[in-house]
């Protein structure tokens, strides 16, 4: 371990419509490269071992995500932290750099994640919501959502995901009505790629009557990698918070 190491935990939010996800991509704007640029301009040196807690996909927004990285002393920490938090027009919001112990790592700070998917039913334009027209069976959707709670094999509710662990525990899947819209909240210990978008697509399909809850339930634990309704667009998905495992 470097003897002059300064470890930082970075808290940040972002407008997902401006990025092709978190991981770096050639010739496409990403959250990781944008944050790296901000950090290195503030520090005047390279941000080492930059890593994120949640690697959200293209178009997914975040109110709260975390990253860790480290720098080498000497570093004017007061000036650095102030510069990192300064507002910019780079798509990142509420960025805070927090000095932490060298053993704190982005992959280990999460005890769970909270996501929200917003669906508009009034036809109003909303860049951060999916617009749905037509009647929906609210009771059927609520019942379907409740069935997703608990520990299940979500193999059928993912897309191009190579994770070997497809068993996840969802502590909350809840529909919350609003004026002209409703939200579906998901809290769990982990999520597969496109898992929430597939689950939302299933809840909507059940509400529309184009897919039965029995078919959806049969996929839980079946170990199949197919069969669920089509995933909804990323526009309505927001990572709301990371449940910290360390304080």
Q: Is the same domain home to 208 and 232?
A: yes
Q: Is the same domain home to 234 and 182?
A: yes
pLDDT in the model for residue 246: 57
Q: Which domain holds residue 85?
A: 5-108
94-144 tens-digit pLDDT: 999 999 999 999 999 999 999 999 999 999 999 999 999 989 999 999 999
pLDDT in the model for residue 245: 77
pLDDT in the model for residue 171: 97
Q: Is the same domain home to 78 and 200?
A: no
Q: Is the same domain home to 74 and 120?
A: no
pLDDT in the model for residue 176: 98
Q: Is the same domain home to 98 and 143?
A: no
Enumerate residue ranges in the chain where pLDDT < 70: 1, 246-247
Please give the model's pTM, rounded to 2 decimal places.
0.94
Q: Is the same domain home to 75 and 146?
A: no
| Residues contacting residue 155 through CB under 8 Å, at least 6 positions apart | 166, 222, 223, 224, 225
Q: Is the same domain home to 102 and 152?
A: no
Q: Is the same domain home to 97 and 138?
A: no
Domain count, the chain: 2
What is the CATH number for 200?
Answer: 3.30.70.660
pLDDT in the model for residue 2: 75
């Amino acid at each position: 371990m470097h003897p002059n190491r300064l470890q930082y935990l970075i808290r940040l939010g972002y407008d997902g419509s401006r990025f092709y996800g978190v991981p770096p991509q050639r010739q496409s704007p990403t959250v990781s490269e944008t944050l790296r640029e901000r950090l290195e301009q503030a520090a005047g040196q390279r941000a080492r071992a930059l890593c994120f807690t949640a690697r959200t996909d293209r178009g997914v927004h975040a109110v709260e995500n975390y990253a860790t990285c480290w720098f080498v002393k000497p570093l004017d920490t007061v000036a650095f932290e102030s510069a990192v938090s300064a507002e910019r027009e780079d798509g990142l919001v509420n960025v805070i750099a927090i000095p932490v112990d060298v053993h704190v790592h982005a992959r280990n700070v999460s005890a769970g994640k909270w996501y929200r998917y917003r669906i508009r039913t009034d036809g109003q334009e909303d860049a951060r919501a999916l617009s749905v027209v037509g009647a929906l069976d609210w009771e059927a959707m609520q019942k379907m959502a409740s069935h997703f709670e608990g520990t299940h094999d979500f193999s059928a509710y993912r897309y191009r995901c190579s994770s070997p662990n497809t068993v996840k525990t969802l502590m909350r899947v809840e529909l919350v009505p609003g004026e002209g819209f409703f939200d579906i909240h998901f809290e769990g210990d982990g999520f597969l790629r496109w898992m929430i978008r597939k689950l939302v697509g299933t809840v909507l399909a059940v509400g529309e009557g184009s897919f039965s809850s029995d078919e959806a339930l049969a996929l839980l634990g079946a170990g199949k990698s197919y069969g669920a309704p089509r995933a909804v667009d990323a526009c309505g998905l927001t990572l709301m918070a990371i449940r910290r495992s360390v304080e």
